[in-house]
Homo-oligomer: A and B are copies of this chain.
Amino acid sequence: MAATVHDVAAIAGVSIKTVSNVVNNFPNIRPATRAKVQAAIAELGYQPNLAARSLRSGRTGTIGLALPELSLPYFAELADAVIRAAERRGLVVLIEQTNGDRSRELAMLNSPRLKLTDGLLFSPLGMTDDDAATLNVTYPLVLLGERILTGPTDHVSMRNEQAAHAATAHLIECGRRRIAVIGARDGAVIGSAGLRLRGYRSALEEADIRFDPDLVVLAQLWNRGNGAAGMRELLARGVPFDALFGLNDTLTLGALRVLQEHDLKVPDDVAVIGFDNIDEAQFSLPSLSTIDPGRPEIAEIAVQLLADRIAGAAGPTEPRELLAQFQLIRRESTAVRDTVTASS
């Protein structure tokens, strides 16, 4: 069987507590003693039993990450960034998928499986602001990417509204005035969809363009298939448009494909911008203009915040809200052709 502190203590000729102290880098140990213990540890190949440590200390060294689906590139890249940020702090990440389903999300918050973690990073999608009370949990919780205004918890996000404003304004700058949107969510005001739609509307307003509901297409889950379906619906409506703002890249790439199936040229006939700056957006044809939400920064901050909460027996501090910097990325899908402009 695996070696325990007792075995190490016996070999080193010290008490088990001293072994524990060495392992945990506690102060007040003579260099000579420390060396003896470390030699014994090396000799036995001792590794602490994390279950026992967890039982005794209440810490597991694990954080949970609950998100809709890893198949969605945004969340895959986010998970990647979170895992890297966690690793820098010696934490491992346990991932749960909610499929963006409200009931699964609510269930998750009370799952006994959370007992295996010290805290949770939670990226909700289906919950509404009515569910905010559910977020009043007893363990450290940090929300990712969604703003639940009345919520009692820490929250890391980006300036969704301003970023959407910037994306829309960019299309307007390119000379477009009939800007379609794909990805709105029924009745959502609070989530990413709602905020981004708000940014879109405020940019229109600023440019004195009337908001036309016929240009808005709903989508629940933001995947390529729904983006494609959304674009088909839009084309079927027969409303004219000269630009598309996809509320995320995956949706947008699905829509892009359908546009081109219908022989619409991007960006000449329809300028297109997405949101998220997933890796794929650089390699589509045309490459996709988008908003870079600063994913590594979001992940880093979120893990830091959670680690603080876990460490801080500080008690109930005010919930904090942190916003990452975003950046508008101009690529081919909104490139203004100088020659065309000149010749017209």
Which A residues have a C-beta under 8 Å from some C-beta of B? 47-52, 54-55, 60-62, 69-71, 73, 76-77, 79-80, 83-84, 87, 92-97, 112-113, 115-116, 223-224, 228, 253-254, 256-257, 260, 279-280, 282-285, 287
**Cβ contacts under 8 Å, A95 to chain B:** 79, 83, 93-95
Q: A50-B115, A92-B113 are in contact. Are A80 and B71 (CB under 8 A)?
A: yes
* Stoichiometry (number of copies): 2
A62/B285 contact (C-beta < 8 A), A77-B70, A97-B80 known: no
Residue of B nearest to A45 (CB): B110
Which B residues are CB-close (under 8 A) to A52?
55
The answer to whether B49 and A55 have CB atoms under 8 Å apart is yes
In angstroms, Cα B84 to Cα A60, docked, is: 24
* With known contacts A52-B55, A93-B95, A62–B116 Cβ distance under 8 A: yes
Q: How far is the CA of A70 from the CA of B97 in the complex (A)?
A: 14
Residues in B whose Cβ lies below 8 Å from that of A50 = 112-113, 115-116
Shortest C-beta distance, A256 to chain B (Å), equals 8
Known: A70-B70, A71-B76, A257-B285. A84 touches B55 (CB 8 A): no
Assembly CA distance A116 to B95 (angstroms): 14
Is there contact, CB below 8 Å, between B283 and A47?
no
Taking a contact as CB atoms closer than 8 A, the residue among B62, B93, B94, B115 that contacts A47 in the complex is: B115
* Beta-carbon contact of B96 and A70 below 8 Å: no
B84 lies within 8 A of A80 (CB): no
Please measure, in the bound complex, the distance between the C-alpha atom of A83 and the C-alpha atom of B245, giving whole angstroms. Answer: 33
Other-chain contact of A279, B60, B87, B224 (Cβ < 8 Å): B224
Within the complex, the shortest CB–CB distance from A32 to chain B, in Å, comes to 26
Determine which of B60, B80, B97, B287 lies in contact with A83 in the assembled complex, contact meaning CB atoms within 8 Å. Answer: B97
| Contact of A116 with B92 in the complex, beta carbons under 8 Å | yes
Q: B282 to A224, Cβ gap below 8 A?
A: yes
> A116 to chain B: which residues have CB within 8 Å?
50-51, 60-62, 92, 116
In the complex, chain B residues whose CB is within 8 Å of the CB of A69: 80
A70 engages B62 (CB within 8 Å): no
| Distance (whole angstroms) from the CB of A62 to the closest CB of chain B | 6
Residues of B near A115 (CB, < 8 A) are 47-51
Q: Can you name the residue of chain B whose Cβ is closest to the Cβ of A50?
A: B115
In the bound complex, CA of A92 to CA of B279 (Å) = 28
By a CB distance below 8 angstroms, the chain B residues around A83 are 70, 95-97
User: Which residue of chain B has the shortest Cβ distance to A282 in the bound complex?
Assistant: B224
For the complex of A and B, 9 pairs with smallest distance between CB atoms: A76-B76, A51-B54, A70-B80, A51-B55, A50-B115, A47-B112, A224-B283, A71-B80, A257-B283
